Amino acid sequence: MIQKFNKKNFHSICDKLASADNDFATIIKAHHYPPMWTRPNTFETLVHIILEQQVSLASAKAALNKLKEKLGKVTPKNLLLLTDEELKACYFSRQKTIYTKGLAAALCEGKLDLNSLETLSDEKVRDKLIELKGIGNWTIDVYLMFVLQRADIFPIGDLAAVNALRRIKKLPRETPKDKIIALAEAWRPYRTVATMLLWHLYLSDAKR
**d(Cα 148, Cα 172) in Å, to the nearest integer?**
33
Closest CA to 144 of 159, 129, 165, 164: 129
- The per-residue pLDDT of the chain, averaged, comes to 96
Give the mean model confidence (pLDDT) for residues 189-193: 98
pLDDT in tens, 162-182: 999 999 999 998 999 999 999
What pLDDT was estimated at residue 1? Answer: 80
Residue 205, pLDDT > 90, answer no
In order of start, what are the domains of the chain with their CATH numbers?
A: 10-36+153-207 (1.10.1670.40), 43-147 (1.10.340.30)
Prediction pTM value: 0.95
What are residue 4's phi and psi, to 5 degrees? -130, 160
- The pLDDT score that the predictor gives to residue 163 is 94
Q: What is the pLDDT of residues 7-27, one digit of tens each?
A: 999 999 999 999 999 999 999
